[in-house]
Amino acid sequence: MPAAKVHTPESHIAGSRLHAFYVLTKPRVNTLIVFCAIIGMFLAVPDGLPPPALVLAATVGIACVAGAAAAMNCLIEAHIDARMSRTRGRPLPRGEITPRETLAFATALGGTGLVLLHQLVNPLTMWLTLATFVGYAVVYTIFLKPRTPQNIVIGGASGAMPPVLGWAAVTGEVSADALLLFLIIFAWTPPHFWSLALYRSADYARAGLPMLPVTHGPEFTRLSVLLYTCILFGVTLLPFATRMSGLLYLIAAAALGGAFLGHAWRLYRDYSDARARRAFRFSILYLFLLFAALLADHYLRF
C-alpha cells in the first residue's frame, strides 16, 4: 500500500499563498468576463468557427488582464475592503499578501496578457484590453466609485467591453454588432449591482462609498433597478430587430427578460434583503443564459 502523502508546513503555506493570489483575480467575476469575450469571438464569425489557436490566445490574454485589473482593484481598495463585511476576508485585509506583492503580481499578470494579445492576436485587441484595464482599475476604482452614486452607470463601460474584445480578436475591428453586445451588458450592469447594493447598503455606508442606496435611499434605488431592467429588456430585443439573431434568441431574450422584470417588480413593490439577493443572483444567471442563447441562435438559427 503506498505511503500516505505528508503535507509539510512549507507546502501548506505555499498552497495558501497561491490560493490568495488566485482570489485576488476575483475568479467568479473573471469567469463571466471571459465567457462573454468568448461568445463575442464566435459571434464574429458569420459561418463556421474561429481559429482554435486564436481563441485560446485571446482567452488567456483577456483573462490575464482582467485578473490583473481585479488585483489592482483589491490593492487600491484594501482599506475599504477592511471595513466591509463582504470583503474583509480578501487576502490584503487579512494580511496574507503584501501590497508590494500584489502590485508585482498584477504587473506581471497584466503584462503577460497584453504581450499575448499583441503578439498572438492583434494590436487592436491589446489596446482595447489595455483601455478596459485603465477604465476599471483607474477611472472607475479611483475616480468614480468614491465620488458619485452614478459610478456603476459610468464605470459600466469597462465591464461591458468583453464581447467587443472577443469580436476584435477575431475580426481585427469593432462592428455595430459588437457594440450592440456592449450595449446589452452596459444596460445590465446597473440593475445587477444595485440589487447587491440594496442589501449591502450598511456596508457601503460604513466604508464611505456613495452607492445609490446610501445617497438616494432604498426606494429610489428600487425604482432605478426596475427602470433599468425595462431598458435592458428593450435593448436585448435589438439583436433580433437588426437581424443579428433569429427567433430562437428572441424567445430566450423575452423569457429571460420577463423573469428579470419579475424580480425587479417584486423588489420594488415588496422589498426584502432576501428578494434583493435573489435578484442579484438571477442577474448573473440571466447574463450567462442570454449570451448562451445568442451563441445557440448563431448556429441553430431558424
Q: DSSP string spanning 122-147?
A: -HHHHHHHHHHHHIIIIIIIIIITTT
pLDDT at 235: 98
pTM of the model: 0.93
Architecture of domain 12-174: Orthogonal Bundle (1.10)
Using the 8-state DSSP alphabet, how is residue 242 labeled? Answer: T
Q: In which band, very low, low, confident or very high, does the pLDDT at 13 lie, cut at 50, 70 and 90?
A: low
pLDDT at 42: 98
Encode pLDDT of 138-158 as tens digits.
999 999 999 999 999 999 999
In degrees, rounded to 5, the angle at the alpha carbon of residue 273 between the alpha carbons of residues 151 and 270 is 100
pLDDT at 122: 98
For residue 297 the three cell numbers come to 441562435
Tell me the domain boundaries of the chain. Answer: 12-174, 175-302
Distance CA 78, CA 89 (A): 11
Mean pLDDT, the chain, rounded, equals 94
Res. 5: pLDDT tops 90: no
Encode pLDDT of 67-90 as tens digits.
999 999 999 999 999 999 989 999
Res. 197: pLDDT tops 50: yes
Distance CA 94, CA 81 (A): 10
Distance CA 78, CA 143 (A): 16
Q: Which residue has the higher pLDDT, 6 or 288?
A: 288
pLDDT at 15: 74
pLDDT at 4: 47
> What residues contact 170, with CB distance under 8 A and at least 6 apart?
40, 41, 44, 45, 50, 54, 55, 58
Q: What is the mean pLDDT of residues 167-193?
A: 98
pLDDT at 1: 44
Count of beta carbons in the 10 Å neighbourhood of residue 100? 9
Encode pLDDT of 247-287 as tens digits.
999 999 999 999 999 999 999 999 999 999 999 999 999 99
Q: In which band, very low, low, confident or very high, does the pLDDT at 16 lie, cut at 50, 70 and 90?
A: confident
Q: What is the mean pLDDT of residues 195-223?
A: 96
Check: CB of residue 263 under 8 Å from CB of residue 278.
yes
Q: What is the mean pLDDT of residues 204-217?
A: 95
pLDDT at 301: 76
Q: In which band, very low, low, confident or very high, does the pLDDT at 35 lie, cut at 50, 70 and 90?
A: very high
pLDDT at 10: 62
pLDDT at 106: 98
